[in-house]
Amino acid sequence: MKKKIINGKLYNTETATLVGEWCNNYPTNDFNYCDESLYRKRTGEYFLYGEGGPLSKYRESCGNNSWGSGEEITPLSAQEVMQWAEEHLSVNKYIEEFGEVAE
């Protein structure tokens, strides 16, 4: 379970609904490892929980110009949610979450 308060709002992976997941398929001990999970809060807001290795976008500074693995919760705008979903969800999962789309 991961929790974070951002701009006075609580983001909690335990109470939110998991919508979809994506992983770059690197082993978890690889510096490039990256794993993301899209969640929907009860309020309808979406956020991304991501974690990754020292060469991923989730890296964290360890000081002295060195990096380690890290994790982050990021609230997403409607446009960011749709972009992430189009890139990482299956067609069926996308339609299940957001409804039918035009051909």
DSSP state letter for 74: E
Q: Strands 46-52 and 70-76: what pairing?
A: antiparallel
User: Tell me, what's the pLDDT at 101?
Assistant: 85
Biggest distance spanned by C-alpha atoms of the chain? 52
3-state SS class at 85? helix
Q: Which pTM does this prediction carry? A: 0.89
DSSP state letter for 3: E
Calculate the average pLDDT of the chain.
94
pLDDT (tens digit per residue) in 67-101: 999 999 999 999 999 999 999 999 999 999 988 88
pLDDT (tens digit per residue) in 16-39: 999 999 999 999 999 999 999 999
Rounded Cα distance, 72 and 36, in Å: 10
Does the pLDDT at position 63 exceed 90? no
User: Tell me, what's the pLDDT at 82?
Assistant: 93
3-state SS class at 80? helix
End-to-end CA distance of the chain: 38
